[in-house]
Structure formats: C-alpha cells, structure tokens
Chain A
C-alpha cells in the first residue's frame, strides 16, 4: 500500500528530513503490509471489559502538587508561567 509519508508526518507533528523520506516510506509500507494481514471480521462491537469497568476516583478537593515543583522541568519559564512562542497576532 502506498502511503503519503509527508502527510502522516505533518499530522504527527514530525519533520522528516528529505534524505530520510525514502527509507521511512519503504519501512512504513512494509509495516502496513504486515498489519493488513488481519482478516475481515463480523462487527460484534468493541467496548470496555464488562467484568472490570474502570473505577474513577471521587472528585474531591485535595492538595495537589506544588506549581514550582512541576515547573522546574519546563524548558523556559517566566513569572511562574511556561514560555512559548507567540500564538495569536
């Protein structure tokens, strides 16, 4: 199957270098050929495990992590905020 690797990369927010495109293209095509081996199946519905439905915790007000603790991993920070490029003109 032919895939548009540049399009998929854009959707994935990845920039693939020109010289690497052909290699990614052929590797991705062989992977997709492999996953295409699934047979057609009757649609019996897909859902969560009925025996073990997820258990959400109660919505309670509790102390959370400290802002400074979390922000110490941010690449760029100013006045307790994460710095990003301008998004709105």
Chain B
C-alpha cells in the first residue's frame, strides 16, 4: 500500500529524512530521555545512553548560529564550487551540517571571525529531480534577515 501511495504521489520529496516539507519546511529530530539529540529519525537506540525506547520527536528551530565552516573549492563532477559548508548550532542543543548561502566564500576566508556565531536561518529550495520525476528539496542556511 505504501509503495502504491508513493507511486501516485507526484509532490516534492525532502533530500534527507530530517527535513519536513509540511506544513512549512522545517527540520525535525528526535530526543532521548537522557538529553541526546539526533537528526536521523530511524535510530534503533541512543548511542549516548544505550536506551532503545526513550525517543520523542523534536521540532527544531529555523534559526541557529554558525559553529565552524569551510570553503570547499574542490568537489566531485557536477558540484559547483566554491561553496561554504557549515556546522550550525540550533538553540535546542543539536548541530546540523548544511551549505551556508548568501555569504561570499572569499570574504569568509579573509575574515573567518565574522562567520563564527553568525545568526542564520533555514531556507529550502529544489536541488534536483529524482529518477521518478519528483522534485528533491534541500535545505541550507543564510544570514538571518531579522
């Protein structure tokens, strides 16, 4: 049944399971009773405390702050460089890896201190089309507008 439902669903798909597209795009993780947080919702146990059934869904903020970054100049065929990759800390206490957009890569290398702690917000966009013709939506972060 699930497969049939999927075959008739022509809507967009998230590139990773922790990106939810409805009701509006946001990230969702899971949190163990011990406090450890994870992005992957299909975990079988908590790797901090070992418990298997103490997870609850955790809706994550759209805003965060940059912990560290790098500017990628060499990548695989088809990936446009340079681009900024970043680790973003969210207020819930979890970190997320994503591209950082609307930041000049050359400027980031020149003044890395200005990127540390930079307030950023989640943005989404269609990144590819899959083999079944679905739009695949990715997320990134950009400097917060407010």
A binds B: no
